[in-house]
Structure 1
Amino acid sequence: MGELERSETGAAEVGVLDVVAYGIVVLQLALAGAKLRRLGDQVRSAYSYVEGCSASVDRLADQMAALEVDPDTVAEHREAAAVMRRALAEAERMAAVAEDLALGFANASATHEAEYGPVAEAARAMPVPMAHSAFYGNR
């Protein structure tokens, strides 16, 4: 009889671990999505600063040209502003990819919750210890 009790306790612990694992997966997916959204926001914030810098460098180049500074110096400033704008385009692409990934993680979390949430809730509400997950997999 002692062996049977140990077996039932082990099965119940495994069942509880399965339910906990479900919750952890849903939480991890949601957290990953939130982190990716924040990353997109941070990238956009950084490129807003660079956008202001490129406009400022363009204005400096215009001022230098008006003051008849040598053309090579003016051209270097215009090239620097152009490099900044290219970096902005790359940053925008990166932010868009991060947002797409965030949406994918949010969808994965919602799908996982929709598919397995009722099962996890039923397992939590069971009046008897849950069997080992392999038992349910064979049904």
Structure 2
Amino acid sequence: MSTESEASESGGAIEPTNVQSNAEVIASGAADLPGTGEGLDAAADLPAERSGRIVDVIADAMTFMLVIARLGIAAVAMRLLSQAVKGAYSYVEDCAQTVDGLADVAATLAVDDSVTSAHHDAAATMRESLALADALAAEAAEMSTEFDNAARDHETDYGDVNEAMQAGPYDVAEREWYSNR
């Protein structure tokens, strides 16, 4: 190379460029260059320009798996919320029946009609809230299904790409190339 021979003839160090490996830059006596992996050190057995991409591919695989895991966790959480609301629904229904029963017993004991009607009104209010709770439980169950579908669709859409990037021996384009598309 003419640059190396010119540098050795002139007695100066080889100027670092973006085509030299980190080892070549250090050997030339110049300051150490940062790796291409966004500040991460390059692996010793890989060229510096390839190691950053490997770090990006691994980071992308981790992100891919985290998205699927988080969608799965959200689906489970919504399923549990739906079950909890249904459990509360059953409890409130039992309370409404008990209050109606107590109002009926109070009526047989000649308790004032305003007291027994207040109890029946309370039971009716409980039952009205049950309709809202039932709608909430149905919505939570639907959201759970949607999260499951989103996880499945994400894996279907990007799973093959993720596997190819992990297994492929080829360099993938730098993230910046995709960001301009």
Amino acid at match of 1:59: G
Task: State the structure with more CA Rg.
Answer: 2
Q: Distance in 2 between matches of 1:33 and 1:88?
A: 24
Q: Quote the residue 1:12 is aligned against.
A: 54
Asked if structure 2 preserves the Cα contact closer than 8 Å seen for 1:15 and 1:133, the reply is no
Structure 2 length-normalised TM: 0.70
* Match status 1:33 vs 2:105: no
Amino acid at match of 2:106: M
User: 1:84-127, CA deviations, whole angstroms, 9 ceiling, x for partnerless residues?
Assistant: 11111111111111111111111111111111111111111123
Structure 1 spans left out of the alignment, 5+ residues? none
Amino acid at match of 1:90: L
Q: Quote the residue 1:53 is aligned against.
A: 95
Structure 2 residue corresponding to 1:101, chosen from 143, 150, 153: 143
**How far 1:138 moved relative to its partner?**
7.3
Equivalent residues in 2 for 1:1-139 (5 A)? Answer: 1-3=20-22, 5-128=47-170, 130-135=172-177
Q: Distance in 2 between matches of 1:132 and 1:13?
A: 11
- Aligned residues between the structures: 139
Structure 2 spans left out of the alignment, 5+ residues? 1-19, 23-35, 37-46
Which structure has more relative contact order (CA 8 Å, sep 6+)? It is: 1
Instruction: Note the aligned Cα RMSD (angstroms).
Output: 2.0
Asked if structure 1 preserves the Cα contact closer than 8 Å seen for 2:68 and 2:155, the reply is yes
Structure 1 length-normalised TM: 0.90
Asked if structure 2 preserves the Cα contact closer than 8 Å seen for 1:43 and 1:95, the reply is yes
Matched residue SS, 2:143: helix
User: 1:59-82, CA deviations, whole angstroms, 9 ceiling, x for partnerless residues?
Assistant: 011111122210000011001111
Matched residue SS, 1:68: coil
Q: Distance in 2 between matches of 1:9 and 1:120?
A: 18
User: 1:30-59, CA deviations, whole angstroms, 9 ceiling, x for partnerless residues?
Assistant: 111110010000111111111111100000
Asked if structure 1 preserves the Cα contact closer than 8 Å seen for 2:57 and 2:166, the reply is no
Asked if structure 2 preserves the Cα contact closer than 8 Å seen for 1:26 and 1:109, the reply is yes
Identity of aligned residues (%): 37
CA spacing shift, 1:56–1:82, aligned 2, 3 Å:
same
Asked if structure 1 preserves the Cα contact closer than 8 Å seen for 2:89 and 2:130, the reply is yes
